[in-house]
C-alpha cells in the first residue's frame, strides 16, 4: 500500500491530506546531481536506455524535495525512434530524425512497434523504478500524443512554423491520418506496457496540439487521444489507473478534453484554474498550472504566486479536492534548485 497516495486520490477527486504536487520535467538539468549522472552516462539516450541510470535520475528530485509522485525518466521521442526514424541529438539543436516522414511510400510502410521489443529498455526502467520507490509515492508513465509525435516525425525535429506537417495536413490529410493511426496504435500498446510493468498513472503530453486551428485540433489531435484513452488498461491489481491529458495551449478546448474519457486535464499557465474548475464542473480533476518562470523570482514571490493559483481554484468550489498542483509546462533548466523548496512549502502548507 502506498504511504503517500494523495496524487492518486486527487485524480479520483477523493479527499487528500495535502494538495499533491509534482513537476513536469522534475528530473532534469536544473539539478546538479542530474547533470553529473548525465555526464557519467555519456549521452542522453544512454541515460534513457540504462534502467539503473534512469532509476537514479528519477529518484533524485524525490531525495531532494517532498514531492507526491515520481515520473518515469524517458523521452517522448523513444516511440518514433522505435518506429525506425533514427533519433539522434545534435548539439545545440535538440533531437533530430535521420529519416523524417515526407514520402508516401515511407508513410505507408510505417509500423507500430512491439514495446516489449524495441522499447524494452523503457519497461525495464519502469520495473526498476517502481521497485526502488518501495511504495513511497506513485509512479507516472507517459507518452507524447500522436499529433505531437507526428510533428517531430514529419518536421524531422523541432519546428517554429510546422511548415511540413501543416502542408501535409491541408494537402494530403490522408497521409497524416495514416501517420496518426499507426502512432496511436503504438502509443496505446506502449502505455499499456508501462502499466503492466508498474506505472500507476499515465499522461499524454500533447505539446503541439495548441498550434492547430479549432477544427484541426478536434480532427487531428483530440480524436486520436480519445482512441488511445479508450484502448488503455484502466485497472491493475484492483487499483484504478488514472489518465491525464495535457494540451499546451489547449485552454480553448477544455470542455472537449474533459469529455475525452480522461481522469484529469493538465493546464498551462494561460488558463485561470478557477475558471477551468467552473467550466468542467467536477467532471475531471485538474492539474496545473503555475508559470514555470515564476521560479526565477524570490522565494516570497514564488509562494505568493502559488497561493494565487490555489486561491483561484478554491474560490470556484467548496474545497480543494480534485487538484494536482504542477507547473504550466516543464521546469526550466535555469531554475535555482532551492527555489523549488519555496514552491513545495507554499503548496503543501496551503491554506496558511
DSSP 251-281: GGGHHHHHTTT-SEEE--TTS-HHHHHHHHT
Strand intervals (E) in the chain: 70-71, 87-90, 94-97, 139-144, 201-206, 235-236, 239-240, 243-247, 264-266, 285-290, 323-327
Half-sphere exposure for 135 (CA within 13 Å, toward CB): 3
Identify the residue whose cell numbers are 502499466. 195
291 is catalytic: no
Residue of 64, 66, 75, 233 with catalytic role: 75
Q: Contact 290/327 with Cβ under 8 angstroms?
A: yes
25 is catalytic: yes
Residue of 34, 65, 147, 152 with catalytic role: 152
Cell of 304: 505568493
29 is catalytic: yes
Half-sphere exposure for 20 (CA within 13 Å, toward CB): 26
Residues in the chain: 352
Torsion on CA atoms 245, 95, 327, 211, rounded to nearest 10:
-60
Residue of 18, 29, 102, 279 with catalytic role: 29
Residue of 9, 30, 34, 38 with catalytic role: 38
Q: Contact 55/132 with Cβ under 8 angstroms?
A: yes
Cell of 207: 505539446
Kindly list the catalytic residues.
25, 29, 38, 75, 152
Amino acid at each position: 500500500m502506498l504511504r503517500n497516495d494523495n496524487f492518486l486520490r486527487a485524480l479520483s477527486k477523493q479527499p487528500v491530506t495535502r494538495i499533491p504536487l509534482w513537476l513536469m520535467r522534475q528530473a532534469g538539468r536544473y539539478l546538479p546531481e542530474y547533470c553529473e549522472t548525465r555526464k557519467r552516462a555519456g549521452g542522453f539516450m544512454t541515460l534513457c536506455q540504462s534502467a539503473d541510470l534512469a532509476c537514479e535520475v528519477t529518484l533524485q528530485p524525490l531525495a531532494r524535495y517532498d514531492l507526491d509522485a515520481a515520473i518515469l525518466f524517458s523521452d517522448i521521442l523513444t516511440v518514433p525512434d522505435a518506429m525506425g526514424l533514427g533519433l539522434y541529438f545534435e548539439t545545440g539543436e535538440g533531437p533530430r530524425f535521420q529519416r523524417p516522414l515526407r514520402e508516401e511510400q515511407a508513410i505507408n510502410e510505417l509500423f507500430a512497434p512491439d514495446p516489449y521489443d524495441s522499447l524494452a529498455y523503457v519497461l525495464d526502467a519502469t520495473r526498476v523504478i517502481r521497485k526502488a520507490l518501495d511504495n513511497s509515492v506513485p509512479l507516472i508513465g507517459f507518452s507524447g500524443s500522436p499529433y505531437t509525435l507526428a510533428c517531430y516525425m514529419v518536421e524531422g525535429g523541432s519546428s517554429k512554423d510546422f511548415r511540413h506537417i501543416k502542408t501535409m495536413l491541408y494537402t494530403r490529410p490522408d497521409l497524416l491520418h495514416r501517420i496518426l493511426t499507426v502512432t496511436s496504435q503504438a502509443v496505446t500498446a506502449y502505455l499499456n506496457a508501462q502499466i503492466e510493468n508498474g506505472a500507476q498513472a499515465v499522461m499524454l503530453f500533447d505539446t503541439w496540439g495548441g498550434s492547430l486551428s479549432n477544427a484541426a485540433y478536434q480532427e487531428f489531435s483530440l480524436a486520436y487521444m480519445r482512441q488511445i484513452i479508450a484502448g488503455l488498461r484502466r485497472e491493475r491489481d484492483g487499483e484504478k489507473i488514472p489518465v491525464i491529458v495535457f494540451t499546451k495551449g489547449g485552454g480553448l478546448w477544455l470542455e472537449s478534453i474533459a469529455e475525452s474519457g480522461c481522469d484529469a486535464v493538465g493546464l498551462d499557465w494561460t488558463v485561470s484554474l478557477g475558471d477551468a474548475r467552473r467550466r468542467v464542473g467536477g467532471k475531471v480533476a485538474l492539474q496545473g498550472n503555475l508559470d514555470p518562470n515564476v521560479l526565477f523570482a524570490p522565494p516570497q514571490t514564488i509562494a505568493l504566486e502559488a497561493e494565487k493559483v490555489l486561491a483561484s481554484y478554491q474560490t470556484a468550489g467548496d474545497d480543494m479536492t480534485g487538484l494536482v498542483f504542477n507547473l504550466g509546462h516543464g521546469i526550466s533548466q535555469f531554475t535555482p534548485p532551492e527555489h523549488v523548496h519555496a514552491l513545495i512549502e507554499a503548496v503543501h502548507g496551503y491554506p496558511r
